[in-house]
Structure formats: structure tokens, C-alpha cells
Structure 1
Amino acid sequence: MTRMHLKKLALTLFITASGAAAAIDYYNKGNEPGRPFSLAVRAGDYVFVSGQLGTVTTGLVKGFDAQSRQAMDNIAAILKGYNLGMNDVVKCTIMIADMARWEDFNKVYVTYFKPERLPARSALGANGLALGGEVEVECMAYAPRR
């Protein structure tokens, strides 16, 4: 992210936190009733996608690789609701229940991005992911308003 984008993000977050009029969108299409969060929130020129597990309507898919793919597919579907794609993602945070699976996750992850267009990323070990998930992914996408 360029210095200009970081300044715009800081300004957007300041405006949002200060209560000033900011364009904020809450996207919940497809979220299960009773879940206490939005699937994504657009604040200014950024879309923040909540952490996604490898779930489908019937629950978690089986296996680490399948959960990794499904989590990424879920993110792609949410971004599509904003007319965005994976190329708009600028930052991801990956939470993995077993960090020994980090390389396995990376093999799946890189298939969702162009090699020259990988987002900034953090990865951490997480004990006790929701629903017993093995991996959770959250992302931020840059989506300038036109």
C-alpha cells in the first residue's frame, strides 16, 4: 500500500471513529441469522471482510486444504457483493490452528492471487477458532469510490 493509501486509510478510520459523516456500508447478504457481525463493512475507499472459515451452509468442510479453499472462496464471494475481486485485496490476516500447516495454507493461498500482486499479510497461530475451524482468513480490499 502506498503512503497515500495509508494516509487515506488513516483519515477514513479517523472520520469513522469520530462519528463524522462517513460513507459506511454493512454487507450481510448470506450471513447466518444470529451471527453478531457483518460479513463486510465498507468505510470510505476500503472494504473490511470479516474472518471467514471454511464453511458452507451445512457447516465446516472436512480437511485443512478444503477449509483453506472454502475460506478463500467465501472471501471472493463477499467481495463480489461489492463488485470487487481478489485483485482488490491489499491486506490479509491468516489464523491457523496448527502453524505446522502454514506451508499447506500457502499452497492454496497463492492460487487466489497473481504472483506479482500478492497482498500484505500476517499469519498467526490461533488456539480455538470458531466452530472448531482449522483456518480463518480476514481481508481488506481497496475500492475507491467512483
Structure 2
Amino acid sequence: MEFINSPAAKVAKLPFSQAVRVGDILYLSGALGNVPGKPELVPGGVEAETRQTMENIGTVLRENGLGFPDIFKCTVMLADMSKWSDFNRIYLEYFDPDRLPARSAFGANGLALGAQLELECMAYMPGR
């Protein structure tokens, strides 16, 4: 196993790793729509949080030589399931429509930082 944290994540001293690689799979920790490096959410509602969440995931992927096409599974947690279509509208911008990851979603009561969503992903990362 390889526990992965960027230098910025190490400085933040979060109680988890950004990602963990096990074999050819990179397990990303749940991501929020927080301002990079700060424990505060971007303003602008669920769509803004979704976009920032995806950008935060993209940063971790790029730091590991990957991109959104390498994601094969996501788990979505929404504080308000009525925001499902607002979330999907932004989420779908990041994936090829013919290569969408397998996905699960559920409503959650009380996400970190009062976030409206959290997204956890798994990506294929073949041996280096």
C-alpha cells in the first residue's frame, strides 16, 4: 500500500490521506467543494460546490499522473437529494458520456464543513 498526500495536504495535517494506492487502484478520499488549502466551502450553492469538488479531485488525479478518464467508480453523498439534477449537470461535464464511472448515491445528513455534497472516487492506476 502507498499512502499519498501532496505537500499542501501534509501542511493541512488532515486526519486522513488524500488517496491510497493498493495494487492498480487509487482510492481517493471523499472530496468537498472547499477552497483549496482552506477549511471553507466555496460560495455559490451546490453547483459551485460541485465544480470545486470536481476540481479538487482533478488536482489529486493530476498529482498522480491520472485524469478523469481513469475514474471507474464514484460514490456521491448529497445533503439534499432534491439537488440531484444540479449536481449531475456539473458532474457530467468532467466525463466522456460513453465512459461514465459506475456510481452510487445517497442522501446524507450532516457532511463535513456543512457541505452540500461529498464525492469519493476510485481510479485505475496501472503499475509505474
Q: Trace 1:58-137 onto structure 2 (pairs within 5 A).
A: 58=38, 59-62=40-43, 63-137=45-119
Superposition TM-score, scaled by structure 2 size: 0.92
SS for the counterpart of 1:55 is coil
Alpha-carbon displacement from aligned partner over 1:105-146 (angstroms, at most 9, x marks no partner): 010110000000100000110000000000100100011114
For residues 126 and 64 of structure 1, what CA distance do their matches in structure 2 show? 14
Alpha-carbon displacement from aligned partner over 1:19-44 (angstroms, at most 9, x marks no partner): xxxxx211111225331100001111
2:106 partner amino acid: L
Question: Which has more radius of gyration?
Answer: 1
Aligned to 2:17: 38
Superposition TM-score, scaled by structure 1 size: 0.81
Identity over aligned pairs, percent = 53
Aligned to 1:55: 34
1:88 partner amino acid: D
RMSD value, Cα: 1.1
Structure 2: runs of 5+ lacking an equivalent: none
Greater RCO (Cα-Cα under 8 Å, separation 6 or more): 2
Structure 1: runs of 5+ lacking an equivalent: 1-23
